[in-house]
Structure 1
Amino acid sequence: MHAANADAPRDSAETVRAVIKARRLRSRFFSEELFADPAWDMLLDLLQAEISQMRVPVSSLCIAAAVPATTALRWLKTMVS
């Protein structure tokens, strides 16, 4: 774990989990192709980890993106740049 970041959002972990769950439920109503960009899902996962003061392994972040690992890693590289 790491020290709390003073700049971290003040949203609760429960709020972020609810947003993640809602994003997963959208597939009931819309085609997943409409939401092919995994960056937002990765950022939500990272935000939840920051609020909970937890580290996120890259493999876990790839799973959170719900895309193939190669795609997630490519997006992660883009986001870091």
Structure 2
Amino acid sequence: MITFNRSRHAAFGGGLFADPAWDLLLQIFLADLSHSELSEDRLLGSIDVPNSVAVRWLTSLSERGDVEFDRVGGQPLVRLSKRGRNAMEQLFDQSPESPCC
């Protein structure tokens, strides 16, 4: 799905399909599925929006209880909360094109 989003962006340009919250959730979910730690810096560099926009969305997702932050060795890590993981799993379980679970 991330590859599709990038292809869509390449075909039509930026801004037309701007959905930073979804892009952030997808990146965090993929890291979670692969049992990888995801630093905030790496996450911010992985989506095509200014860092200030991504940080605002991350703050919003955190306030909603969908993501959480942890510090390991001074590096802020981003993870799905239990609520966020459950929501993503339910969403993809309902999709016939589900890449997971």
Same fold (TM over 0.5): yes
TM-score (norm 1): 0.69
Q: CA–CA distance in 1 between the matches of 2:22 and 2:57?
A: 10
Q: CA–CA distance in 2 between the matches of 1:65 and 1:76?
A: 12
- Where do 1:4-23 residues align within 5 Å? 19-23=1-5
Aligned residues: 63
- Aligned-pair identity (%): 37
Kept in 2: contact 1:39–1:65 (CA 8 A) = no
5+ unaligned residues in a row in structure 1: which ranges?
Answer: 1-18
Runs of 4+ in 1 over 4 A off after TM superposition: none
Corresponding residue of 2:99: none
**Which is bigger in relative contact order (C-alpha 8 A, separation at least 6)?**
1
Corresponding residue of 2:21: 39
Q: Give the superposed CA RMSD.
A: 1.3
Q: CA–CA distance in 2 between the matches of 1:35 and 1:26?
A: 8
5+ unaligned residues in a row in structure 2: which ranges?
Answer: 64-101
Q: Which amino acid aligns with 1:22?
A: F
More strand by share: 2
Q: Cα distance, 1:34 vs. partner?
A: 2.1
